[in-house]
């Protein structure tokens, strides 16, 4: 997707550059021209700017690559009242997210090159952020026959996944990994044993037991992950573990990585922020898949992010309108929106001293970019000018009603966070702006 | 290549005895013996182009075509080969015999053996069936395809087609493309072509590639464009339609797009490259008709002609070692 470049070069002076690709976190400046990063300066401001350059004084604000979110759901096509590609793209821009990967479990399912093409055309017309479709791994996302992975990849899908639905049949999973791997296409899979998770709405624990909620044990995730690891060892294909959520599967992941297997893993910002107790009095905005786990699991997940065991953080943006959330807990739809709160929620881990800023930014820029083979995600000369400028200290109270997303099911509603996006740039064009500059 | 019609004496002098009683695998032969069979086959090609194609090398011999799997071209090829050599040929197929009434393969073999045939030609859906049969009978057994294991006479006819087109086999780059996993043709060809010094590539989706195929002495490649680049011979394999419904390959249109041979992909092969296919072809699936029917690049018709000649050479060589019981 290419946007028309903005008119004339733009220089951002006096910023705090955070660039995981070069490992730089410090004062610097950047010149954008023709939609690309033209110059990068570590330390001093840029001089000898081209004539007609518009200069933005950043006053020490964070300037980093725009975020790349590999797990976003919208309702388009098929369920537009939830969220359209346009509303999701506007929410993304407001959150400093410059690339989103939409999940294929729409209606119709993205299991056909024509639907991939539809998404890309819509995104081009919307002209806000980059929107990439993930293709379904199996026909209809039903876990039986392989979808047209090669044709969808040619059309522009960036990886394949059946989203929330696990691929139960091990033979299908094996063939899928072999086939996609042979074509160089990444497969993402959320590990969940279908029998242990059947009917579950919470994680199995003392809390869910007292609350009387049908629950799944963490073992459901561990069992399926161990199977997937064995199949990766068999096929040699790349796998992205979608939303690892607990300590035990992290141990499996660590062993697999130690063996040198080509496995990467994502975690959702929700599982890094909340634990099962946040469900409180059956609050359905905290009903998620996988379910929120124990505090020990959350701590293990944060350590995994810091150590690099968890490669990528996603928003797991999942819009659900009130009619799907204002229901008894076990009848409510799972999921929470997250595009606009991803950055401040990440910054919380920085402000709490849990993780270095550079590492946190890496998990939402360079790491996802590498996973799906984009040029973005780095502050390097020649890279697309997908950028965000943010005041990382600005205090705010999240008010779901003020969020741009069509659905307001934010788990961060009422939460005090720090960090405010000042503007977002995609291919050199400002697509969101908090204040006049 | 047109030779003057060979005389019976020339053929007799060249029909050196086959090294083994049975012909079950291409590995039954060494490169010198392969060359001898191909030389002999060349004479039969010339003979077959004559008005009178008969020669009495196998006079009085009985050939049984035992085809448990239906086949048109291989069965008729062996039948013609036997008849042109003067043998009596009997065709048996499961539907017309007691095999479909539950008789086991070994029972059938013992029964047939009692009829004193000289050569049994067997095609069976199970790998190893020809070998099993050969252990239970007194006559010679020729493997005309056992499951996903071997089809040695096909590899010989492919080698003959290549040798006549290029004048050599050693040094050629041969890309064998498509469903390698289920292909006995591919297995026999890899063994024979590497033995003869060709450079072989196996090209196909990972789901249609046998485990550790890279250890067969061939190079494995999961991209058709890369796989055919610079190849002298592009050999396409048949893909069974039932394997295309998502289990091993997503769809027919994706298969053709990624793995089907058309002009554009063939243009990446070496100048003067030839296209082969063991047949029967799925047009528009693994091969575009435009390529298959172009006689300037396609050896597909030649392969069928060479098939009869090679099988005559195999039968004549085997007959030359048969003793009179």
pLDDT in tens, A260-278: 999 999 999 999 999 999 9
- pLDDT the model gives residue B1: 46
Residues A148, A118 contacting (CB under 8 angstroms): no
In this prediction, residues A359-376 reach a mean pLDDT of: 98
Q: What is the interface pTM, i.e. ipTM, of the complex?
A: 0.85
Distance CA A325, CA A319 (A): 10
Helix (H, G, I), strand (E, B) or coil at A86: helix
Asked whether residue A436 carries a pLDDT value surpassing 60, the answer given is no
Strand partners, B201: B175, B219
Q: What are phi and psi of A419, to 5 degrees?
A: 125, 125
The answer to whether the CB atoms of B254 and A148 lie below 8 A apart is: yes
- DSSP secondary structure letters along B243-275: GGTTTSSS-HHHHHHHH-B-HHHHTTSPTT-EE
Residue pairs spanning A and B at CB distance below 8 A: 54
Give the pLDDT of residue A1.
Answer: 42
Judged against a pLDDT cut of 90, whether residue A367 lies above it is answered with: yes
- Looking at the complex, report in whole angstroms how far the Cα of residue A184 sits from the nearest Cα belonging to chain B: 9
- Give the CA distances from residue A84 to residues A73, A91, A106, A210, in Å, rounded to whole numbers and listed in that order: 9, 11, 11, 39
Nearest to B246 among A139, A150, A182 (CB): A139
d(CA A375, CA A384) in angstroms, rounded, equals: 7
Cα A232 to chain centroid, rounded = 23
For residue range A16-43, list pLDDT tens digits in order.
999 999 999 999 999 999 999 999 999 9
Which domains are present in chain A? 66-372 (3.20.20.140)
Q: Are A437 and A423 in contact (CB under 8 A)?
A: yes
Identity of the residue in B205, B247, B253 whose CB atom sits nearest the CB atom of A145: B247
Q: What was the pLDDT predicted at B95?
A: 62
A182 touches chain B (CB under 8 A): yes
Give helix then strand counts, H and E, for chain B: 12, 9
**Which of A144, A182, A235 faces B246 most closely, judged by CB atoms?**
A144
d(CA A406, CA A402): 10
Q: What pLDDT, on a 0 to 100 scale, did the predictor assign at position A3?
A: 47
The residue of chain B nearest to residue A113, with distances taken between CA atoms, is B254
How do the pLDDT tens digits run along chain B, 325 residues long?
445 667 778 888 888 889 999 999 999 999 999 999 999 999 999 999 999 898 989 999 999 999 988 888 999 999 999 999 999 999 988 665 555 566 788 888 888 899 999 999 999 989 999 999 999 899 999 999 999 999 999 999 999 999 999 999 999 999 999 999 999 999 999 999 999 999 999 999 999 999 989 999 999 999 999 999 999 999 999 997 767 666 899 999 999 999 999 999 999 999 999 999 998 999 999 999 999 999 999 999 999 999 999 999 999 999 998 865 4
pLDDT at B102: 63
- Chain B: closest CA distance from residue A191 (Å): 21
Residues of B in contact with A154 (CB under 8 A): 257
Residue B251 touches chain A, beta carbons under 8 Å: yes
Following DSSP, what letter does each residue of B24-58 receive, concatenated? --GGGS-HHHHHHHHHHHHHHHHHHTSS-----TT
Report whether B247 contacts B123 (CB < 8 A): no
Contact between A151 and B206 using a beta-carbon 8 Å cutoff? no
E strands, B44-190, in order = 62-67, 88-92, 119-124, 140-146, 173-177
Tell me the two tokens of residue A428.
């050199």
Residues on chain B touching A181 (C-beta within 8 angstroms) = 206
**What's the pLDDT score for residue A67?**
98
Q: Give the span between the Cα atoms of B125 and B145, in whole angstroms.
A: 8
Q: Are the CB atoms for A42 and A28 separated by under 8 Å?
A: yes
Mean pLDDT score across all residues of chain A: 96
pLDDT (0 to 100) of residue A2? 44
Tens digit of pLDDT for each residue in A168-220?
999 999 999 999 999 999 999 999 999 999 999 999 999 999 999 999 999 99
**In contact, A279 and A202? CB cutoff 8 Å:** yes
What is the mean predicted confidence (pLDDT) over A237-242?
A: 98
pLDDT of A294-329, one tens digit each?
Answer: 999 999 999 999 999 999 999 999 999 999 999 999
């Amino acid at each position: 997707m290419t946007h028309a470049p903005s008119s004339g070069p733009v220089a951002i002076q006096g910023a705090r550059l955070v660039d995981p690709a070069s490992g730089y976190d410090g004062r610097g400046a950047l010149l954008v021209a023709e939609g690309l990063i033209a110059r990068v300066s570590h330390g001093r401001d840029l001089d000898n700017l081209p004539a007609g350059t518009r200069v933005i004084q950043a006053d020490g604000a964070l300037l980093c690559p725009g975020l790349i979110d590999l797990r976003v759901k919208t309702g388009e096509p098929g369920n537009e009242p939830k969220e359209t590609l346009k509303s999701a793209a506007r929410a993304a821009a407001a959150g400093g997210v410059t690339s989103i990967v939409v999940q294929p479990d729409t209606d119709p399912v993205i299991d056909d090159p024509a639907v991939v093409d539809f998404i890309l055309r819509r995104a081009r017309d919307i002209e806000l952020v980059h929107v990439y479709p993930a293709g379904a791994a199996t026909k209809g996302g039903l876990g039986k026959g392989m979808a047209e992975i090669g044709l969808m990849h040619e059309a522009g899908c960036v990886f394949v996944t059946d989203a929330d639905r696990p691929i139960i049949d091990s033979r299908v999973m094996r063939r899928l990994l072999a086939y996609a791997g042979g074509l160089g296409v990444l497969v993402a899979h959320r590990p969940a044993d279908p029998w242990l998770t059947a009917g579950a709405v919470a994680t199995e624990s003392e809390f869910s037991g007292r609350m009387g909620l049908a629950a799944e044990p963490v073992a459901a995730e561990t069992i399926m992950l161990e199977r997937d690891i064995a199949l990766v060892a068999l096929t040699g294909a790349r796998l992205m573990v979608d939303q690892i959520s607990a300590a035990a599967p992290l141990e499996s992941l660590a062993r697999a990585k130690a063996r040198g297997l080509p496995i990467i893993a994502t975690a959702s910002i929700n599982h890094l922020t909340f634990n099962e107790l946040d469900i409180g009095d059956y609050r359905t905005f905290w009903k998620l898949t996988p379910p929120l786990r124990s505090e020990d699991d959350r701590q293990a997940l944060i350590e995994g992010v810091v150590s690099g065991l968890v490669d990528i953080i996603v928003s797991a943006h999942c819009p659900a309108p009130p009619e799907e959330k204002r229901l008894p807990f076990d009848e409510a739809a799972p999921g929470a929106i997250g595009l606009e709160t991803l950055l401040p929620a990440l910054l919380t881990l920085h402000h709490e001293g849990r993780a270095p800023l550079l590492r946190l930014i890496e998990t939402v820029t360079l790491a996802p970019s590498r996973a799906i083979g984009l040029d973005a995600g780095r502050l390097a000369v020649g890279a697309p000018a997908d950028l965000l400028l943010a005041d990382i200290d600005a205090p705010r109270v999240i008010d779901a009603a003020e969020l741009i997303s069509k659905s307001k099911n934010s788990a961060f509603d009422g939460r005090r966070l720090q960090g405010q996006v000042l503007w977002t740039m995609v291919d050199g064009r400002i697509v969101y702006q908090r204040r006049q500059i | 290549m047109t030779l003057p019609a060979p005389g019976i004496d020339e053929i007799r002098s060249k029909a050196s005895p086959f090294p083994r009683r049975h012909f079950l695998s291409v590995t039954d032969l060494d490169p010198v013996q392969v060359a001898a069979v191909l030389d002999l086959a060349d004479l039969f090609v010339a003979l077959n182009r004559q008005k009178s194609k008969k020669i009495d090398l196998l006079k009085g011999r009985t050939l049984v075509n035992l085809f448990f799997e239906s086949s048109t071209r291989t069965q008729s090829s062996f039948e013609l080969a036997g008849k042109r050599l003067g043998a009596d040929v009997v065709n048996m197929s499961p539907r017309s015999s007691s095999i479909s009434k539950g008789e086991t393969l070994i029972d059938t073999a013992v029964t047939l053996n009692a009829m004193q045939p000289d050569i049994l030609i067997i095609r069976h859906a199970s790998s190893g069936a020809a070998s099993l049969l050969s252990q239970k009978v007194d006559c010679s057994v020729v493997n005309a395809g056992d499951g996903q294991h071997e089809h040695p006479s096909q590899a010989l006819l492919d080698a003959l087609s290549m040798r006549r087109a290029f004048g050599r086999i050693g040094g050629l780059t041969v890309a064998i493309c498509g469903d390698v996993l289920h292909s006995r043709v591919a297995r026999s060809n890899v063994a024979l072509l590497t033995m003869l010094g060709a450079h072989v590539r196996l090209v196909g989706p990972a789901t249609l590639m046998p485990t550790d195929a890279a250890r067969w002495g061939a190079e494995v490649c999961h991209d058709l464009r890369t796989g055919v680049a610079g190849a002298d011979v592009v050999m396409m394999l048949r893909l069974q339609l039932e394997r295309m419904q998502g289990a091993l390959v997503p769809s027919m249109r994706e298969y053709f797009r990624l793995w089907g041979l058309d002009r554009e992909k063939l243009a990446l092969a070496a100048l003067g490259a030839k296209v082969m296919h063991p047949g029967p072809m799925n047009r528009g699936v693994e091969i575009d008709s435009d390529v298959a029917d172009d006689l300037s690049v396609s050896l597909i018709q030649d392969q069928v002609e060479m098939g009869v000649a090679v099988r005559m050479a195999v039968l004549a060589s085997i007959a030359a070692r048969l003793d009179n019981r």
